Amino acid sequence: MAALQHVAVTLNADASWQRWWQGSGTTACELGIVAEERWDHLRPSADIVKAADRVRANFTSTPPAIANDLLAAATTELTAMFEVIREAIHMPPLPPLPQVAPLPADAQEVEVTARPFPAGSRQRDQQGYLTLTQIQEFFG
């Protein structure tokens, strides 16, 4: 999570990414990431809503594999999310990636909310995925 945050801050500070995002007509993008472990979807899913002055994008997927290069993995993950957002809200192609500085040795841990599944939910839904409503109910 610290690597994802580091890459997001880098993209947010880059002038070409700022100009690109201004084309969205919104002021902010709120990213929500849910990694479902063994209860994961049959495939990753995304729910993207453009509301008022912001875009809310919730992604659900399996947790990433442990990578040797966390920054490269985080960059790939985050740019893939922005590619999905770009397509969903009809934006031009992503700008070039800026140089991402190495992750600082003293990088702060990012708070992660982990919640157990409610009682009786040990079986995967027959549909093979959770809807946004189910995710919102789960995180109440």
The pLDDT score that the predictor gives to residue 97 is: 95
pLDDT in tens, 86-127: 999 999 999 999 999 988 887 777 676 665 555 555 454 455
Task: Provide, rounded to the nearest whole percent, the portion of the chain with pLDDT above 90.
Answer: 36
Nearest Cα to 61, choosing from 34, 82, 80? 34
Instruction: Provide the residue ranges of all domains of the chain, joining segments of one domain with +.
Output: 2-139
What is the pTM (predicted TM-score) of this model?
0.73
Hey, what are 51's tokens? 């509301």
Q: At what angle do helices 70-88 and 2-13 cross, to 10 degrees?
A: 60
